[in-house]
Structure 1
Amino acid sequence: MPVADTSQLISGVAERYASSLFELALEAGSIEAVGADLTRIQALIDGSADLKRLIVSPVFSADDQYKAISALVEKFGVSGLVGNFLKVVARNRRLFVLPGIIRAFRLLAARHKGEITADVTSAHALTPAQETELKAALKGVTGKDVAVNVTVDPSILGGLIVKVGSRQIDTSLRTKLSTLKLALKEVG
C-alpha cells in the first residue's frame, strides 16, 4: 500500500493559517510588525533544536505545546496578534506546520506590497551590504522589489543558489564541482 503524500496536506494547512493571520494583520494594519515577529520566531526555531523538536514531535501533548509557546511568547515579547495566533496553532496541534505558515505569510505580505520573493541559499551568512546588493541586482533582473529569504547551507561550499518564482540560478561551488566531475568522467 503506497504511503500518502502529506506535503500537499501540510502546505494547504499552512496556507490556510497564514491567510487567516494575514487577514487579521491587514485589518489591524500591522503586516510589518507581524512579519517581524514571525521572523524572530523563525530565528528562534532555527537556533534551537529543542524548540524544533517541540514543534514537530507528536510526543508532546497540546497542553505541553501550549504552555511552552505561551512561555516563549511572553519571554520574547511577541506582539499580541502573533502571540495569540501561536497559542491557537499550539492548541489546535498544528505547530508542525509553523515554518510553512511563516513562509506562506511572507509570500502573502510580499505580494501585498507588490514584491516578489527570492529564496537564497548561501554557504555563509550574507552581510547587510551583500543582501542590499543582491536585492538591487534581482530588482534589475525582475523589475520589481525583491524580498530575500536567506538560508545558510555550508554544504554548497560557496556561491549562491537563488530561486525566484520558477527560475533558479545556481552558482554554488558544489554544483560547479559536480559539473566538472561529470565532464572529467566523460573525457576519461
Structure 2
Amino acid sequence: MLLASATRTISATPGLGRRAASAISSKYSKAVFGAALQKSPQILNKVATELTNASNAIKASPEISTLIRNPTLSSQERLAGLQLLYGKLEGGSGAAKKEGLSEITKNLFEVLSENGRLGEAEEVIQGFQELLAQHKGELTVTVTSAQPLPRDMVTRLENALKQSQAAQAAKVLKIENKINPSILGGVIVDFGEKSIDLSVQSRVTKLNNVIQQSV
C-alpha cells in the first residue's frame, strides 16, 4: 500500500484551477513512479506498460471514457468503470493475462476514484511517462505545426536543439511533430518545462491585443 499512503494525503478540493489541478496530478504521478521504482526495474516497466495501455483504453472506449471522466458519477458507478477498465487491460493472453495487473496500478486508480480525480487519470499517466523518460535520460521535444514538417526542417530543428543544455544533458533526444491547424503557421516547441511559441496564431493574438489597447 505504498502508493496509497503517499497519495491519500492529497486532498480532493473541488473548484481548483488548471494550474492547481495540474500540480496535484503531478503529485500522483510522482507517487506512483516512486512506488514502482522502489520495487524494481521490472515492476517499473510493468507499471509503465499498464498505464500506457490504460490511457489507450480510455481514449478508445467511449464507455470507459464516460465512466472515468464523468465527475458526477457515484462511487459505485466509478467502481464499475474501474472494473471495466481492469477487464480491458487484463484481456490479453498467456503470461500477461495470468499475471494480472500490478497492485501499484490498481492502487493508483482506486485512490484517484476515492478522491474524485479519475478524470485526471490521463494527465497523471502523462506525468508518469515524463518522469520515466527523465529516469532513462530521454528528452522528448514536441514540435507543433499547422501541417507536417518536411524532413529537412525536422533535421535542422534537431541539430539546433542538440546545442541546448537540456539536450546535451540527455542520453536520447526524441522529436515529435504534432499537427494543430489552429496555429495557422509557424511552430510551437515544447521541451521539459519550456515552451517557445513561434506560431502565426500567437503573432495574430499579440497584434489584436495591441490594436485593442490602442483603441
Determine if the TM-score, normalized by the shorter chain, exceeds 0.5.
yes
Q: CA deviation at 1:148?
A: 5.4
> 2:50, 2:89 within 8 Å by CA — same for their partners in 1?
no
The match for 1:80 is 101
**Which of 18, 23, 38 is the equivalent residue of 1:7?**
18
State the SS of the aligned residue for 1:60. Answer: coil
The match for 2:138 is 115
The match for 2:40 is 28
Distance 2:82 2:175 in 1: 27
The answer to whether 1:39 aligns with 2:39 is no
Query: Deviations 1:39-89 (Å, cap 9, x if unpaired)?
Result: 333334444555444333222112212221221222233861264132442
- Of structures 1 and 2, the larger Rg is shown by 2
Letter in 1 for 2:112: V
Cα RMSD for the two superposed structures: 3.9
The match for 2:30 is 19
Query: Deviations 1:109-138 (Å, cap 9, x if unpaired)?
Result: 122222334344344679xx89x9699544
Which consecutive residues of structure 2, in runs of 5 or more, have no partner in the other structure? 1-14, 92-99
TM-score, reference length from structure 2: 0.60
Distance 2:75 2:63 in 1: 16
> 1:135, 1:147 within 8 Å by CA — same for their partners in 2?
no
Distance 1:157 1:39 in 2: 31
**Which of 64, 68, 88 is the equivalent residue of 2:81?**
68
Which consecutive residues of structure 1, in runs of 5 or more, have no partner in the other structure? none
TM-score, reference length from structure 1: 0.67
State the SS of the aligned residue for 1:116. Answer: strand
Distance 1:7 1:174, change over 3 A: closer
The count of residues paired between Structure 1 and Structure 2 equals 178
> 1:157, 1:173 within 8 Å by CA — same for their partners in 2?
yes
Identity between Structure 1 and Structure 2 (%): 28
